[in-house]
Amino acid sequence: MVNTLSAAKTKVVSRLKTGDEFKASLDDGRQLWVGGKRVEKVTDEPALKAGVDLLASMFDDQFTEEYADATTYLEPTTNEIVSRSWQIPRTRQDLEDRRKMIEYTSLKTGGTFGRPPDLAPAIAVGLAAYLPTFKAKKSLVDGCSPDFAENIESYIAFGRENNLTASESLAGPQTDRSDPKAAEGSLLRVKSVEKGGIRISGAKTVGSIAAQANEIFFTNLGGIQSTPADACIWGSVPINTPGIKMISREMVSQPGSDPFDHPVGHRGEEADQFIVFDNVFVPTERIFNLGDPTAMQWYGPVCVFAHWHVLTRLAVKAELFVGAGQMVIEVLGTDKIPAVQMMLGELIEYAQTLRAFIYAAEAKAKPTEADVMAPDVGMLTAGRLYSIQHYPRIIHILQEMCGQGLVMRFGKAAYQNPEIGHHLKDLLPGHGVSAMQKELLMNFIWDMTASALAGRVALFENVNASPAPRLRARLFDEVDRKGYVAQVKKLAGMDW
């Protein structure tokens, strides 16, 4: 839907979709299997519908006074109102404004969508941050010579103009790691070159929201130097492209359940997909790297905006844990107990520390070679390392604060049963709240910390961040220590 507005003497065009328009865009013949069965229409599949509805509500929120500033902005180059998902930050203020979108999607999903709709565009923005580098790179696959920089710019414009929802999948399938050939066997690889593009085959995994999105943004995970040229590729295609098959993992949320029983779980989830590329055609204009292993080594700098997104989402979720913890100690009447106050203090420490890393990364942000303002990578990596190290303990503390209330949950049906409900209502009230009000809080914390959905999210946070030793290795590579060394030499009078 395109709405025309009048702003002074200049015509402003809205490029925003409604929720219904988003849902309609998913009915495109995509190949999808859930529970081993072929799904004909995503919006009719119970396991996916709740998540689709949640995403659709985000599109509708763009038109509301409450959320318009967080979710949209006026793109100055085109004078169009577009989604902040595709905003390229040029200043530190732009970074703060773009963060509003991350905070919005994180709150909307309770932090349970590891890759909400605004994450994949962050990788496209990361590519745009290094346009001169990609402009200088050439295809090393004979017969196909895209202009990578031009394609990156065109893709971002396409995403803005169409209020595009994209998934991204960088990791390859888990295979026998003792055998390099096993890992290579599933890499996306160029199988042939033909007029107007290439055909690729292989597989990607953990394609979050792929079944609920319009596009798939893909590459083979960065840092690969010995991978053959035909496996060095970055690109994006519509998710309904012939040859793409999506196989959903087991669903772990509670779609269709009563919101009282599962305040978070009833909203659905991001549906991770195992994505098979079977001779998939990728048009020349959708290729951002082809055959150049040196371009693949830019994974770290390109993904800095995605890592900024991850850390911000974790901070928002940490603040939800603080809010829930404060409510628990008030409802249970334990807020005056020093030991309990210290427990909540640790939750606050975690949330405040994550925020500090985010603000520091933005304060130390510098323009890239393409004049895109990029958060400080060292601060982001240190923040992500801190987050995954402490996440399990924070979950444990919040659960411990709840005590038996988290274990003894009964559901709305029990409370409404005339034979037993009155016993629960009479015997389980909290401090200043009814038994049902107290249970609703416990149900929320259950969904966020102890449910199958929470378990999947906790695993995702750890795997998505990379193991702690790898993050420490990144810190070793990313943080310039020359200034620290110079300070030691000056203080100690060392002339070497």
Task: List the one residue out of 269, 196, 271, 272 whose CA is nearest residue 237.
Answer: 196
Contact 237, 282 (CB under 8 A): yes
State whether residue 367 is helix, strand or coil: strand
**Alpha helices per DSSP H over 5-72:** 19-25, 46-61, 68-71
pLDDT tier for residue 445 given thresholds of 50, 70 and 90:
very high
CA distance 140 to 28: 34
Task: List the one residue out of 81, 158, 155, 84 whose CA is nearest residue 116.
Answer: 84
Percent of the chain with pLDDT over 90: 88
Q: Phi first, then psi: what are they for 237, rounded to 5°?
A: -140, 160
pLDDT tens sequence across 202-243? 999 999 999 999 999 999 975 445 678 899 999 999 999 999
Which pTM value belongs to this model? Answer: 0.94
pLDDT tier for residue 175 given thresholds of 50, 70 and 90:
confident
Mean pLDDT computed over 407-412: 97
Q: Phi first, then psi: what are they for 393, rounded to 5°?
A: -70, -40
pLDDT given for residue 465 in this prediction: 78
pLDDT at 5 over 80: no
Mean pLDDT computed over 262-280: 96
> What is the residue-averaged pLDDT of the chain?
94
CA distance 32 to 136: 38
Nearest-10 Cα torsion for 119, 125, 130, 134: 90
Strands 166-169, 215-219: pairing is parallel
Cα–Cα distances (Å) from 134 to 149, 203, 298, 305, 467, in that order, read 5, 25, 10, 17, 29
CA distance 345 to 352: 10
Q: State the DSSP string of 327-338.
A: HHHHHTT-TT-H
Residue type, 245: K
Through-space distance between the first and last CA atoms of the chain, rounded to whole angstroms? 67
- In this predicted model, which residue has the larger pLDDT, 336 or 294? 336
To the nearest 10 degrees (0 to 180), the angle between helices 435-449 and 304-331 is 150
CA distance 246 to 188: 15
pLDDT at 389 over 80: yes
The total of other beta-carbon atoms located within 10 Å of residue 39's CB is 19
Mean pLDDT computed over 77-89: 97
Lowest mean pLDDT among 254-268, 353-367, 455-469, 475-489: 455-469
pLDDT at 185 over 90: no
pLDDT at 4 over 60: no
> Strand ranges (DSSP E) for 154-272?
166-169, 189-194, 197-204, 215-219, 233-238, 244-248
